[in-house]
Structure 1
Amino acid sequence: MRPVRASEQHRWLFDDWHPDLGASLRDDFEAREREVDLARERAVTQIIAEEGLPGVTALAQVAKLPWAVGSALARSGGEFDMEALSLLDSEDTSLVQFSDGFARMRRGREARMIRQWVAQFAGRPVAQARLLLTLDDVQDAWAMLIDLPEEVDSAYWAEFAPYGRGADFPHASEAARQLLRHGRAAMAVDALSLYARRDAVEVDVVVDALNEFGNAEDPEVGRVSEYDLTTLLDYLRLHSVDESVLARLEWKFLPVLHDESRAKSLHRLVARDPASFVQLVEYAFKPSVEGNESEPPRVDPELAANAYRLLREWRMVPGTNEDGVVEQEKLESWLHDVRALLSETGHLELGELQIGEVFAHSPSESDGTFPARAVRNVLEAAPNDRFERGFIIGLHNKRGVTSRGMTDGGKQEYDLAQQYDAWAARVEATHPRTAGALRSVADSYRDEGRRNDEEARRFLEGMDL
């Protein structure tokens, strides 16, 4: 049953990272690796003796680890440098891996030998580039690239990978620059994310990479995860990058940032800049003014969804300072400008409802009253009830998802109603409209609590199975 050809007899050694040699070396990994290397070297030596180099390359084409075949050939001591290396630009990926394994083992750590080989493969840019990629010291490779044709440079950066360079790789920023220059923005972002965790990349390169990523079709886009993007955005925040730059990047990547807290700069921009808020409302909603004969501009559905999501997640009341206090003058100035712009676009009603919803996320005053006094003053002076309606909607929405036992009834809702009643009682004398809105929320929670009590009663009586 034993195969006749040596290349078939020893293939099993090159189909597994850790072939079972029968030796009991499980507790000594290095000794086991030496035994495997020696067994592979002996196998290749026998294949060369019986079948020549074609037998070795044939094995590389069918083995699961073609690089291991090339590495074993390099250790065997035969003079096959040019024959093995000439396969570096082969169209067969197995032979490329075989040749790469040979080159990495044969040259050791010597840039001098790589330089000699590169010179011998003049006119074959892919082979030259792949030889340079075997160098551990990227500076040696980059120094050689300067004197080589542009085709070699392009081939080198088309396959360059930042992985396996060590935790203290000092050239991550320069590598990312070159990857960007050669149209590999996804790989650049992935590399920068890897080394940003060690505070080892330049801020301007991170900004450039994030600006470039996603602007063109990129086959490597799958390398970039939400974690990579949030890592780099956090890195920019840590290094005090201009907030307008951060806001622009957060807007760009909002569809993949599933945690609403990761777009803080964007939220602050909307709360600070009336035009930004109005533009979001325009993207998300059609004009509500009746009789407007002008056809509203068509908005890309993805852009509209992005704007709608941001409005739903917006939590910062305009006029809020760095200490979390809502300043009356700043809030009123923002509202004045926003209303003027919304009137021009035909979105005043919708916009005021959205503003009312964000009022629900107002901070409390130092005396425990809610919402902030500046917000209460705006609610009292409003010329219509849209702020109030939005405020009530926002209060309900911010509760989020709830859970309870089958027999718990409406205790959660009664507790909330009591809280809203208490807030209403404390502001009723000075801000009756606000108190009315708070009491309406309290009443709705009491009604919901009674419904949950009834469901619990039906369950206990066996009427609701």
Structure 2
Amino acid sequence: MADDRRSAVKEILLSEGLQGVIELAGQCALPFFVGVAISEVSGEQYTSSLISERLVDENFLQNLVYGFVTDRMQTASADWLAKTLAKHDNTAIKSLILAMLPFDASAWDVVDQEADTVKHNYWLIVKHWGCSTDVDSVARCSRELIAVGRSADAMDVICNAIHREVNLPVEVLFGPLESADMNSAFGQPSFGRHQITDYEIGMMLSALQDKDDVDEERLVALEWKYFRSFKYGYHGAPRTLFKRLSSDPKYYATLVSRTAKASREQLLSSCGHDENELALLENEVRRIASLLRMWTEIPGKTEGDSINYEELQSWVSQVRQTATELRCLDECDSRLGELFVNSPPDPDGKWPCQPVRTIMNQIATPHLSDGMVWGVRYSRGMVQRRNGGAQEHSLGDKYEMLAESIRIESVYISSILVRIAEEYRSEARLWDAREDWEY
């Protein structure tokens, strides 16, 4: 086919000249290969005619010239490129020619020799696919793309390298994540023309989380910025935020206080009745609430899946002290109840485990019990419905047995478990009745 194409182009050049070939290319699905054929049969003869002012406005002509330039670079010396660039002062034309070169460091070296306007325009228009995955190339390419506002494309380049298990420097990974602007209407990162997937964001954040030399404060800021990417847990988790919650009880209490004072009236007052600012604050509160529910690692947990009482007791004490100072102790107790749902069982099957039971007995507030009840029900997630309320009957039996196992030791916690059992049995009766009238 290549031979036939060359023969056709040669024949048209002889009979109708270059314009005839250009008209033919305009009717072709792939004018790129027509450009290759022009170079193959005529060398650089038509360089000046092809690379002209028309190139800026006609897309099909750009594809044709792309093929021409590609073959010239493979068969001619670097002198051809230098002479071609020297003939043109037009920034757009120079940028287009350079963008047709192979996307690698040798082309970027040529670009760096041109004026800043040409370089800027080149990085605006060049296709970023096919970048080498060596560290230097990825770093250089992503830096230049970010400089012209192409953070999403820089992420593409970086994720391709991560996928190939290239160990990239921390600053390269931070670059596009930190450079994305925030969309003021939604409080989410904006990447301009292009969008980036949660999968790619999660890939880059995971790579940063695995680094030993990363700045934790910067990573915390990024996990908040891209928190939506963690929503369903498919693309990683905010591990640095989880670590901060576990190690800094005052931070935990401060976040709880934000959700405790999150009524629309309070938020509207705090932002001066600015609706846009209110939307950002409401989004922040939703993210905090989601984080607190996503976090399931009780402080003091050891490698053996047990809980160190002293560590947990110290953490809880500091959390409640700070919450008292912030006037959100009730909300704090409710959140602690939700957190304690993630307690492991004792070796003998009692639940929650002994350290958690001891601390719950020390607190023993209604809000703590409400939080645990709600946490158990929420943690169940979605279920597949069949056989009426059989599942709920089984859960009711489970929590009744757990309540009985600690009834003498802790009336308070036993009453919580009995309440959970009763709620499940009440729900079971509703599903039983529904099955009767539906089927």
TM-score (norm 2): 0.84
Q: Write out per-residue CA displacement over residues 36-86 of structure 1, whole angstroms, 9 at most, x where no aligned residue.
A: x22322332233233322233334445432323322222222610121123
In 2 relative to 1, CA 142–464 (structure 1 residues): closer, same or farther, beyond 3 Å? Answer: closer
Please tell me whether the aligned partners of residues 247 and 266 of structure 1 are also in contact (alpha carbons under 8 angstroms): yes
Match of 1:234 in 2: 206
Match of 2:407 in 1: 428
Please tell me whether the aligned partners of residues 146 and 154 of structure 2 are also in contact (alpha carbons under 8 angstroms): yes
In 2 relative to 1, CA 59–215 (structure 1 residues): closer, same or farther, beyond 3 Å? Answer: farther
Q: Write out per-residue CA displacement over residues 403-441 of structure 1, whole angstroms, 9 at most, x where no aligned residue.
A: 133xx2333223222322232233223222112111211
Match of 1:205 in 2: 172
Match of 1:44 in 2: 9
Q: Give the partner amino acid of 1:230.
A: G
State the Cα distance separating 1:206 from its structure 2 match: 0.6
Q: Which among 412, 424, 433 is matched to residue 391 of structure 2?
A: 412
State the Cα distance separating 1:321 from its structure 2 match: 4.5
Match of 2:438 in 1: 464
State the Cα distance separating 1:110 from its structure 2 match: 5.4
Q: Write out per-residue CA displacement over residues 106-139 of structure 1, whole angstroms, 9 at most, x where no aligned residue.
A: 2216561454235423423333333333333722
Please tell me whether the aligned partners of residues 142 and 158 of structure 2 are also in contact (alpha carbons under 8 angstroms): yes
State the Cα distance separating 1:397 from its structure 2 match: 1.1
Q: Give 1:27-426 correspondences, 5 Å limit.
A: 35=1, 37-77=2-42, 79-86=45-52, 89-108=55-74, 112-136=78-102, 138-165=104-131, 171-200=137-166, 201-215=168-182, 218-222=191-195, 224-240=196-212, 241=214, 243-260=216-233, 262-286=237-261, 295-297=269-271, 300-321=281-302, 323-382=304-363, 384-405=365-386, 408-426=387-405
Distance between the aligned counterparts of 2:408 and 2:286, measured in 1? 42
In 2 relative to 1, CA 402–433 (structure 1 residues): closer, same or farther, beyond 3 Å? Answer: same
Distance between the aligned counterparts of 1:303 and 1:80, measured in 2? 60
Please tell me whether the aligned partners of residues 132 and 138 of structure 2 are also in contact (alpha carbons under 8 angstroms): no
Distance between the aligned counterparts of 1:369 and 1:185, measured in 2? 52
In 2 relative to 1, CA 118–269 (structure 1 residues): closer, same or farther, beyond 3 Å? Answer: farther
Q: Give the partner amino acid of 2:210.
A: L
Q: RMSD of the TM alignment (CA)? A: 2.9
In 2 relative to 1, CA 383–404 (structure 1 residues): closer, same or farther, beyond 3 Å? Answer: closer
More moved, 196-205 vs 253-262 = 253-262
Q: Give the partner amino acid of 1:44.
A: V
In 2 relative to 1, CA 54–403 (structure 1 residues): closer, same or farther, beyond 3 Å? Answer: same
Distance between the aligned counterparts of 1:243 and 1:168, measured in 2? 26
TM-score (norm 1): 0.80
Correspondence 1:455 to 2:434: yes
Q: Write out per-residue CA displacement over residues 248-290 of structure 1, whole angstroms, 9 at most, x where no aligned residue.
A: 32221111333235223322322332343234334434268xx
| Gaps in structure 2 of 5+ consecutive residues | 184-189, 272-277
Q: Give the partner amino acid of 1:280.
A: L
Distance between the aligned counterparts of 1:358 and 1:212, measured in 2? 35
Secondary structure of 1:171's counterpart equals helix
Please tell me whether the aligned partners of residues 424 and 439 of structure 1 are also in contact (alpha carbons under 8 angstroms): yes
Q: Write out per-residue CA displacement over residues 354-394 of structure 1, whole angstroms, 9 at most, x where no aligned residue.
A: 22111111222334321122221221111622111101110
Greater share of helix: 2
Please tell me whether the aligned partners of residues 85 and 102 of structure 1 are also in contact (alpha carbons under 8 angstroms): no
Please tell me whether the aligned partners of residues 346 and 354 of structure 2 are also in contact (alpha carbons under 8 angstroms): yes
State the Cα distance separating 1:89 from its structure 2 match: 5.0
Please tell me whether the aligned partners of residues 133 and 160 of structure 2 are also in contact (alpha carbons under 8 angstroms): no
Q: Give 1:1-16 correspondences, 5 Å limit.
A: none
Secondary structure of 2:301's counterpart equals coil
Aligned residues, how many? Answer: 418
Please tell me whether the aligned partners of residues 388 and 437 of structure 1 are also in contact (alpha carbons under 8 angstroms): yes
Distance between the aligned counterparts of 2:182 and 2:313, measured in 1? 39
State the Cα distance separating 1:87 from its structure 2 match: 5.3
| Gaps in structure 1 of 5+ consecutive residues | 1-34
Please tell me whether the aligned partners of residues 57 and 95 of structure 1 are also in contact (alpha carbons under 8 angstroms): yes
